[in-house]
Structure 1
Amino acid sequence: FGNLDRFVRATALFAVIAWRILYATLLARTDADLSCEVLLQPVEWQALYSHTHGTTKPPKQIPSLGQAVLWIAMLGGYLNRKHDHPPGPTVMWRGFLILHEITKMYRLFRQNE
């Protein structure tokens, strides 16, 4: 990191990212019926839905948190088999990385409409 100041800033940033991943993982397990907008911005869940369903039009009804977390986990490699445990932080981390890239492209394409 070079010096202590950079290390402190990086640690603060990593803590926020880790909190979001853990929050998504645990909240989806306890209250999956909530709206996914408690976790994702509208452009994020619309990009996620469009990518997952291969469509350019998001649904009129906002997906549930449980469904959105499952889609994010599947982006990260979660297979959603019958006897699989719920997705954990590692697969959610991978999924959020991919969701970030998908959202950037979705914003870019929507900008031209």
Structure 2
Amino acid sequence: MTAIPTFAVYAAAALAEIAGCFAVWAWMRLGASALWLLPGLMALAAFAWLLTLAPSDFAGRAFAAYGGVYIGSSLIWLWAIEGQRPDSWDMTGALLCVIGAGIILFAPHVA
């Protein structure tokens, strides 16, 4: 099995999580059919599976590092799917989070 690059794992996990959560949002807040919940649940299951592929020996560290990627991905979703362009505060906050995620994931940790 070929190793999947870290960013690809986190990007796919973010897409799956955001899509799954948006399905619930669409049903509850936008009046979409409850049928939206079926692909939403499948997307959330895929999200959980994808996070197990993260290159970390500890789940908490993998999840913490993923958080920064999730924030950036959520702003891309905001712009691409919801048509709302992120402002400079959104972008600054996301940049700080992605930097923090990189530190958490790639720093040399003491066992």
Higher helix share: 2
Is the TM value for this pair above 0.5? no
- Normalising by structure 2, report the TM-score: 0.31
- Normalising by structure 1, report the TM-score: 0.31
